[in-house]
Amino acid sequence: MERECEENLKQIIEGFQECRNAFTALGDETRQLILLKLLESDLSGIRVGEIAKKTHLTRPSVSHHLQILKEAGIVAMRREGTKNFYYLSVDETVWNDIADLVNGIYESIQHISSQS
């Protein structure tokens, strides 16, 4: 049983390391607002100008925050000619890693509380 706990803890530590950039990016309120607007849009994505209108941010500010989100693996982008569309994707982003980490923590807490 102790070995299982050690293995779970090791996986959680690795999960935090894998998700560190994503958590840092998600911690910013402006980026959270942008993510909410992406969630409100369809999965085909939206352009910087649309996000700027919906968030009342400048286009350069939106571009800057989208770049951080993209580098952190939270947002994906596709090109159509000269147009860039930003969207949330499970397959191309870190969302699965975040979900696995949160689930691992939750399972560990359940295990600990069941032993009390």
Query: What are the domain boundaries of the chain?
Result: 2-115
Residue 51 is predicted with a pLDDT of 97
pTM over 0.75: yes
Instruction: Provide the 8-state DSSP code for 46.
Output: B
Query: pLDDT for 10-34, tens place per residue?
Result: 999 999 999 999 999 999 999 999 9
Q: Which two tokens stand for residue 97?
A: 């890693």
CA dihedral 23, 25, 31, 37 (to 10 degrees): -60
Q: Which CATH number fits domain 2-115: 3.40.50.2000, 3.40.1370.10, 1.10.1660.10, 1.10.10.10?
A: 1.10.10.10
**What single letter denotes the amino acid at residue 81?**
G
Query: pLDDT for 30-73, tens place per residue?
Result: 999 999 999 998 778 999 999 999 999 999 999 999 999 999 99
Contact 74, 96 (CB under 8 A): no
- Distance, in Å, from the CA atom of 114 to the CA atom of 116, rounded to the nearest integer, reads 6
- Residue 100, pLDDT above cutoff 70: yes
Q: What is the mean pLDDT of residues 100-113?
A: 89
